[in-house]
Amino acid sequence: MVDSKKGIDVVLLDVSKLLWITDVFVIVTGTSNRHVQSLADDVEVKLRAEGRSPLRREGHREAEWVLLDFGDFVVHLFQAATREYFSLERLWGDAPRLEWEPASIEA
């Protein structure tokens, strides 16, 4: 699903029946290194406000593929070419896709 307000492609895969280490993969595409870093930072800030911190964080400096592991879900933030190359949606093709709607932000 693409968040038309931000142009961000997001897919949620329910991997709970395929993996024992996590339940959901959140797969997101950013447009550049800086965009991927900003998305990762934003995810962390918003989830820390909810009392959640990543158990593991990888790839932030290079920002081709940033992984944020929150235990029950893992956020994969990619640049487009890297996402296409690793193709997690194809690799985990047996995982059902979950519906996702971007949260509305009220000013």
Please compute the mean of the pLDDT values over residues 57-76 and round it to a whole number.
97
Write out pLDDT tens, residues 68-91.
Answer: 999 999 999 999 999 999 999 999
What single DSSP character describes residue 69? E
Q: Which domain holds residue 22?
A: 2-98
Q: CA-based angle 87:60:65, to the nearest 5?
A: 5
Q: 87 in a domain, yes or no?
A: yes
Query: Mean of the per-residue pLDDT values for the chain?
Result: 90
Distances (CA, A) of 105 to 5, 34, 95, 102: 11, 22, 30, 9
Q: Is residue 105 part of a domain?
A: no
Q: For the domain that residue 58 is a member of, what is the CATH number?
A: 3.30.460.10
pTM: 0.88
> Considering its fold, how many domains does the chain have in total?
1
- Residue 92 CA to residue 21 CA, distance in Å, equals 14
Q: In this predicted model, what pLDDT tens digit does every residue of 10-37 receive, in sequence order?
A: 999 999 999 999 999 999 999 999 999 9
Chain centre to alpha carbon of residue 13:
10
Q: Are 39 and 80 in contact (CB under 8 A)?
A: no
